Structure 1
């Protein structure tokens, strides 16, 4: 009986089979293997994959934007509070003017969300700092964010030498940030003074802005997600809830 051929190179591996070198098979992970490197799985997420940031509500983004705008606008607009040579009655009336934060505004409840309240408190604090001679300050939010029904008020009171100039300065200051470039004069209501309203936009969302100024106060009403025409129809009554005379 013939003997199998001996290995001419003892200790070496047998020669490869025909067809050339065969690479080792890639390991399988619970199904058909997909070409390319795979990240280890941990709870359904790939290790090292970027985690998308939590999205804040549009309303809260707007709050931050407008809070900053208001500080620049109202605080910068009333740089000096001085008594003038006008009639004593005008001065007396101005000194009796106050701005307040009603429990409700136009039937809307005051928002009690801690973050929103914190924003309002910072706004009021900045107003008081910028206008140290102000007799009162106001800053609050009303409505329901989930229903896109949100109103913000901000204002200061004191004796204003030139209300029309302060109103124009406030309108000019807010325009770059909110694109409120179409301010139109509107009825100021029984409290007198001057008032203007404009459409605007913040973070891609529509906002409506109305400003007023008289001898005793300068203030702003902002209606989110709405037009200036919608705010104008409410402005006089909303202002009447915020501006008071002792």
Structure 2
């Protein structure tokens, strides 16, 4: 019995394509990539380094100012507090050029944000004698530190610290805030864990008779922040 003729568009043997059949489809050429031969497969994209959006930094800066802005700075009236008053009056805060080996970030937008933080603290903290706000490190290398501090005569340092911590706990979900060594400058200090936009934070705060301040380390835990806290505080706060 004779075989039916092949369909004009059916697959054909490898030794040739008879008339009436479509030629095999051609694959589009892949553009050559730099450093690759023409038509070679494109390599995987380079991994992007984790960064922190500036909108996150702006939001956090505003939060820190709000937490510190209610600090009640007042002059002491009792003679037995004269020494504390003198120490407090000689306490100053400033944003150093480097912080624990990290250079202050010179990005114009972050510099403007730092200046705004300082201006807000000067206008909201009662009777302040100084304020400091700045960013340090390299966000592209997941090494970023943010500071906010104000100096003045604190009426109730423990209360100021507790209120600042409460504010952070509500807004940044800061947990495990525990008392840590405040260092040679004295006063009270706490460090704990926080998070913003999925980025872990190591948060430390301090308060004494002459200042109140916070240090936020991005991509770090509270335990990691604790190891550098005393060094950083000593570079931000000085007492003559």
Q: Which of 154, 168, 179 is equivalent to 1:160?
A: 154
Kindly report structure 1 stretches of 4+ aligned residues shifted beyond 3 Å.
Answer: none
SS in 2 for 1:83: coil
Larger Cα-atom Rg: 1
Q: Deviations over 1:168-214 (max 9, x none)?
A: 01100111111013210000011000000110001111011100000
Match runs of 1:83-232 below 5 Å: 83-85=76-78, 86-232=80-226
Measured after TM superposition, the shift of residue 132 of structure 1 is 4.4
- Shift of the 157–183 alpha-carbon distance from structure 1 to 2, 3 Å rule, reads same
Match runs of 1:18-97 below 5 Å: 57-76=51-70, 78-85=71-78, 86-97=80-91
SS in 2 for 1:196: strand
C-alpha contact (below 8 Å) 1:61/1:203 kept by paired residues: no
Task: List gaps (5 residues or longer) in structure 2.
Answer: 1-50
- Shift of the 80–89 alpha-carbon distance from structure 1 to 2, 3 Å rule, reads closer
Task: List gaps (5 residues or longer) in structure 1.
Answer: 1-56
- The two structures, once aligned, show a CA RMSD in angstroms of 1.4
Measured after TM superposition, the shift of residue 81 of structure 1 is 2.5
TM-score, scaled relative to structure 1: 0.74
